[in-house]
Amino acid sequence: MTLLVVTAVAAEAEALARGLPPGAAVTVAPVGVGPAAAAAGTARLLALAGDRYRAVVSAGIGGGIGLDPGATALATRCVAADLGADSPQGFLSLDELGFGSATADVDPALLAALREALPDAVAGEVLTVSTVTGTAEGTAELRRRHPTAVAEAMEGYGVACAAQGAGLPFGELRTISNVVGPRDRAAWRIGDAFAALTAAAAALAGLHS
């Protein structure tokens, strides 16, 4: 059976494909930017594939929280960090509102295999947001609410929902292109993040069902 790896955009998929060994039982596909597009795109791929896939990994570049550009992050769980409600007392998560859960756990065996294959990767919460953080105030609030977070991206929670709906193990891998904080495009190192993504592809190819 095949591992499905979904990315937001084609450039991320191409970076991963460059690092896959010939004949790897891995399908890499871009499904769109943001949690809604990621959930819909992943669910469509899974529905069309029957029982072809054995697990799903959300992969791509993201912003580092305490990690420098070029680093690799592995999710211990995904958190939809801005799914909830604003209030005079501050942000209320979906869990606090009683409408479900804004967190999605990753498969322990999948995470353990990725940590073994990528010993330099840092594991922690990976946040899914619809609006990326771009101010010092927003970063401070994010760190306050999610002290164990190591990265921020835009698709993981959506992919997790699709994988869980199909009854498949889920994981998330992010390589860091920039530090989460005040938006400074000049400091971004997207090339380094793509290179790290290519390097991580062999670990994905080595995963076993």
Question: Is residue 209 predicted with pLDDT exceeding 90?
Answer: no
Quick check: helix, strand or coil at residue 181? coil
Query: pTM value?
Result: 0.93
Query: Could you tell me which of 88, 62, 80 has the C-alpha nearest to residue 179?
Result: 62
- Could you give the CA distance from residue 69 to residue 46 in angstroms, rounded to a whole number? 32
Is 207 or 110 the better-scoring residue by pLDDT?
A: 110
pLDDT per residue as tens digits for the range 29-75: 999 999 999 999 999 999 999 889 999 999 999 999 999 999 999 99
Query: For residue 155, what is the DSSP state?
Result: S
pLDDT number for residue 48: 95
| Domains of the chain: residue spans and CATH | 2-205 (3.40.50.1580)
Chain centroid to CA 194: 14
pLDDT number for residue 12: 98
Q: Is the Cβ–Cβ distance between 109 and 157 less than 8 Å? A: no
Mean pLDDT of the residues in the chain:
93
